[in-house]
Homo-oligomer: A and B are copies of this chain.
Amino acid sequence: MGDSSIADGVNCPVPFSRYDRVQLGHGSGGKMSAALLKERFLPHFSNPALAKLTDAAIVEVAAGRLAVSTDTFVVRPLEFPGGNIGSLAVHGTLNDIAMMGARPRYLSAGFVLEEGLEFEVLDRIIAAMARAAEEAGVPIVAGDTKVVERGKADGVFINTTGIGELDRGFAPAPDLARAGDAVIVSGPIGRHGIAVMAVREGLEFEVEIESDAATLSPLVELLREQVGDAVHVLRDPTRGGVASALNEIAESAGVGVELVEDALPIPGPVRAVCEILGFDPLYVANEGILIAMVEGGSEQNAVAALRAHPLGEEATVVGRVVEAHPGLVAMRTGIGGTRVVDMLPGEQLPRIC
């Protein structure tokens, strides 16, 4: 504790800014809470709605139909190559909104801080969060901060809830997959999970694998413009990976999915780490790619649309929706066989997002 020379919250009136770690008093709703907010959060998260600091933010929406998504992030460690829990919390929720075909408009952020968390770490998390939100053009309009005793959380947990606007006419949904649809992935598989896992386990490799965490809205906009209604399903394969996402879609739409193993864009380093650790990259979390199921015949346009953006440069067709084996995902393997790609019962990688 670098702050041992500073009296505890109740007796020390000022300056709060001299603390270098989160104290229980920062969660009190009193002066220390106000100082935490004003010194740590507001400088990064400034926008008119949040700045009012009222019980609720007032925002405007044009459309009558909204997409609402919530996600709590508990990733461990808090920082990893390619991002941290703050940027991840923004990308993850914005992507859930985007996968409904909606345009993300507003975010809220709720923090649970563990007493003793270093402000230096918190500052980096908040900065990354603010940057991700700004790049996506989506303000964080409402926030909340709680503090729990040392040992009652794990540094910081962040909930983000997103609100997006839907237009009629573009509404992809998992149950709209149809036999004949092409299955497209927008980029390399497995990077987020392996990047986090490598840091957690202290693994070092010649090539550092970075998380792919990114906001997918620009890809969705391109698909919408170029192929529109031919996009039946959009899905970001996060926790549980590509395999779980495809299984959920197959079940939801009552269709089968047939993957072609050799078509899957799995980066060499991801494949290598998976082999060493005994993971299957199909179950590893991604935070910056999407799966699109697109009407047969439109796949070349869809792939071209995705490739027009840096995030989609490696977009490719990896399989097809079929009438056979409804609810099941099968894969034609490189050696000519077929195997079922089931959902895992429990976890391959806990606390990955």
Q: Which residues of A contact B (CB under 8 A)?
A: 8-13, 16, 23-34, 49, 52-62, 64-74, 95-97, 99-100, 102, 106, 108-112, 141-144, 146-149, 151-154, 157, 159, 161-164, 166, 171, 173-174, 235-236, 238-240, 244, 252, 285, 343-348, 350-351
22 A-B pairs in the complex with CB atoms less than 8 angstroms apart = A24-B347, A24-B350, A25-B347, A28-B240, A32-B346, A33-B239, A49-B68, A55-B235, A56-B67, A56-B96, A56-B102, A56-B162, A61-B61, A71-B144, A72-B111, A72-B146, A110-B159, A142-B161, A144-B159, A148-B157, A152-B153, A163-B163
Interface pair B112/A72, CB less than 8 Å apart: yes
Interface pair B99/A345, CB less than 8 Å apart: no
Interface pair A68/B142, CB less than 8 Å apart: yes
CA distance A350 to B285 in the complex (A): 36
> A58 — which chain B residues lie within 8 A by C-beta?
65-68, 100, 166, 171
**Of A106, A147, A351, most B-chain CB atoms within 10 Å:** A351
Interface pair B55/A59, CB less than 8 Å apart: no
A162 to chain B, nearest CB (A): 7
A155 to chain B, nearest CB (A): 9
Interface pair B74/A112, CB less than 8 Å apart: yes
Interface pair B345/A12, CB less than 8 Å apart: yes
Interface pair B345/A240, CB less than 8 Å apart: no
Interface pair B346/A8, CB less than 8 Å apart: yes
**Known contacts A27-B347, A347-B9; A110 and B70 CB within 8 A of each other:** yes
Interface pair A154/B159, CB less than 8 Å apart: no
Interface pair A345/B61, CB less than 8 Å apart: no
CA distance A32 to B23 in the complex (A): 36
A17 to chain B, nearest CB (A): 13
A4 to chain B, nearest CB (A): 16
A262 to chain B, nearest CB (A): 26
CA distance A169 to B34 in the complex (A): 30
**Known contacts A56-B69, A100-B55, A346-B9; A29 and B111 CB within 8 A of each other:** no
A219 to chain B, nearest CB (A): 15
Task: Select one of B60, B74, B111 contacting A65, CB under 8 A.
Answer: B60
**Known contacts A69-B142, A164-B56; A345 and B109 CB within 8 A of each other:** no
A-B contacts besides A54-B174, A147-B350, A153-B153, 14 pairs, CB < 8 Å: A24-B346, A28-B346, A31-B343, A31-B344, A54-B99, A55-B96, A55-B99, A56-B164, A58-B67, A60-B66, A61-B66, A72-B146, A110-B159, A146-B157
A285 to chain B, nearest CB (A): 8
Task: Select one of B73, B154, B348 contacting A28, CB under 8 A.
Answer: B348
**Known contacts A28-B348, A148-B154; A68 and B96 CB within 8 A of each other:** no
> A144 — which chain B residues lie within 8 A by C-beta?
70-72, 159
5 nearest CB pairs, A to B: A9-B346, A25-B346, A29-B239, A29-B240, A28-B347
Q: Name the residue on B nearest A155 (C-beta).
A: B152
